[in-house]
Structure 1
């Protein structure tokens, strides 16, 4: 079975199935026998890598001891169209598959925590800065579409139930010049305004702050997606290096990144001190 990049709904359904199977005390092979499939089918379902028909899902849930109709309805809803990633046409069609995965996960999150160095976080980038960042690799309508596609991520701030979004950034994120002074000033001022949103927290780690680890040099994003079922939230650590993007859902890896987050938020400036620092930086871009 070819490996595919899972959607948030598939991942949520897979987590629910895994949780229910473990509660029932069944192996993957035993659970697969309930729907007359092989063990690999359940393994792929739990990993968000496969689909299941409504009939097979109901048969599986009955075999796993799910009796409440509300719970069955929730899981059937997770199954419905769970292969779709939204409307990836127009400007959004310019996004890479890996970027689409990030956007799809962000749209379902109730908590997003980002550690960034060298560049402002994507969810805090203004249009002028994005354009300066990508103009060397793209031009014309292609550039315009890519800029708008990246700005579209920020629609999560205006949802009826927006996620809590927190950032810890290195001072290098606002010192490294990717555009002329007027663009950099606009970018820093944009970050200040975004930090005033009720669901946004922004902290900066100055160069002069002494830290006990090198975590600020390891950019990562912690994503939490609430489950409508009983399995608890999905939690991921997203890491990005040159040529490699990884989504880690291993509990040990997520916990390690969570500890790094705690250390960095403890060492970074407070929210108001961060805004004061950023105002000083903006004024230096003349």
Structure 2
């Protein structure tokens, strides 16, 4: 059976269950026995790939020794409608099945950090740039819907209690022409505008800045999603290439990319320097 696309709520609930099980000193098989399920079903639940009934969740939490009623209610609320399949309609239906996890994570994050080397990050792209980027795709009559789907992701900047969103981008993502000069100029000015939002930080890494090999070669996104439980936030690294999208929650991988992020922000231009640099590049497209 094919694995389903996990939602943020399922991932959070799965992490919380895994944390409570480990704290109780139980194996997955022992935990599964509490609700008369298989070990593989418990593994899928902890990975966000399976659902659990309210009754089974209460039994499981009792078996783990969870006595705090507020904690129990928080996890029951996390379980409620956590499949969220019905909202993938309209322009949202244009996201690929794999990328829907990314969109769901973005909408629930409190911190998003992006490193990009060759193209302006999707969350910073203006409409004319997206259209130019997609112009050579096989979208047919769906082109406008795909453009809207890309742009609707930026609603997270303006929602109540928005996430903190930070970017480090290479100068090559400003110089690489994906559209005519007027589109590139509009795109850069759009990034300047977004960089002035209180929850957005943008830094550019110029060509002349000396960095160690491997710091800027790969694009990645670090995502942090707060948890209503006691297991701590979900932390993911998202990577993408022509062949695949990957969501990595291995702590060693996330920590390694976090260290790369720290080094890049240390050598990239400051926020005001970045805006001056962007204005200069925009002028070059005049």
Any idea what the Cα deviations from partners look like across 1:213-265, whole Å, max 9, x if unmatched? 32211100000000011110000000001111100000001011101111111
1: distance between equivalents of 2:161 and 2:119?
A: 28
By how many angstroms is 1:69 displaced?
Answer: 1.1
Q: Counterpart of 1:91?
A: 91
Q: 8 Å contact 2:5–2:100 — kept in the other structure?
A: no
Partners of 1:85 and 1:283 in 2: how far apart? 45
Superposed, 1:179-218 pairs within 5 Å as: 179-218=179-218
Separation in 2, partners of 1:23, 1:66: 10
Cα 1:280–1:4 shift into 2, 3 Å: same
TM-score for both structures, normalised by structure 2 = 0.98
Contact kept in structure 2, 1:118 and 1:173, CA below 8 Å = yes
Give the distance between the partners of 1:29 and 1:92, measured in 2 at CA. 38
Give me the whole-angstrom Cα distance separating, in 1, the residues matched to 2:195 and 2:208: 22
Instruction: Find out whether 1:275 has 2:275 as its counterpart.
Output: yes
Number of residues of Structure 1 aligned to a counterpart in Structure 2: 286
Query: Equivalents in 2 of 1:60, 1:99: separation in Å?
Result: 32
1:19-58 equivalence runs, <5 A: 19-58=19-58
Aligned residues: CA RMSD: 1.1
Q: For structure 1, which runs of at least 5 residues remain unmatched after alignment?
A: none
Quote the Cα distance in structure 2 between the aligned partners of 1:248 and 1:94: 24
Measure, in 2, the Cα distance between the counterparts of 1:50 and 1:168.
Answer: 36
**Tell me, what secondary structure is at the counterpart of 1:247?**
strand
- TM superposition score normalised by structure 1: 0.98
1:116-148 CA deviation, whole Å, 9 max, x = no partner? 011000000000000000011145641100000
| Conserved? CA contact 2:130–2:147, under 8 Å | yes
CA distance in 2, matches of 1:24, 1:129: 52
Which deviates more, 88-97 or 153-162? 88-97
Q: Which residue of 2 aligns with 1:132?
A: 132
The one-character-per-residue Cα deviations of 1:142-186 (angstroms, maximum 9, x if unpaired) are 110000000000000111010000000000011000001000000
SS state of the match for residue 204, structure 1? Answer: strand
The answer to whether the 8 Å contact 1:130/1:147 transfers is: yes
Indicate the SS of the match to 1:115: strand
Q: Is the 8 A contact 1:220 1:240 kept in 2?
A: yes
Q: Are the aligned partners of 1:85 and 1:104 in contact in 2 as well (CA < 8 Å)?
A: no
Contact 1:238 1:248 in 2 (8 A): yes
**3-state SS of the aligned residue for 2:160?**
coil
Q: Measure, in 2, the Cα distance between the counterparts of 1:232 and 1:194.
A: 30
The structure 1 segments of at least 4 consecutive aligned residues displaced by more than 4 Å after TM superposition are: none
Look up the match of 1:235: 235
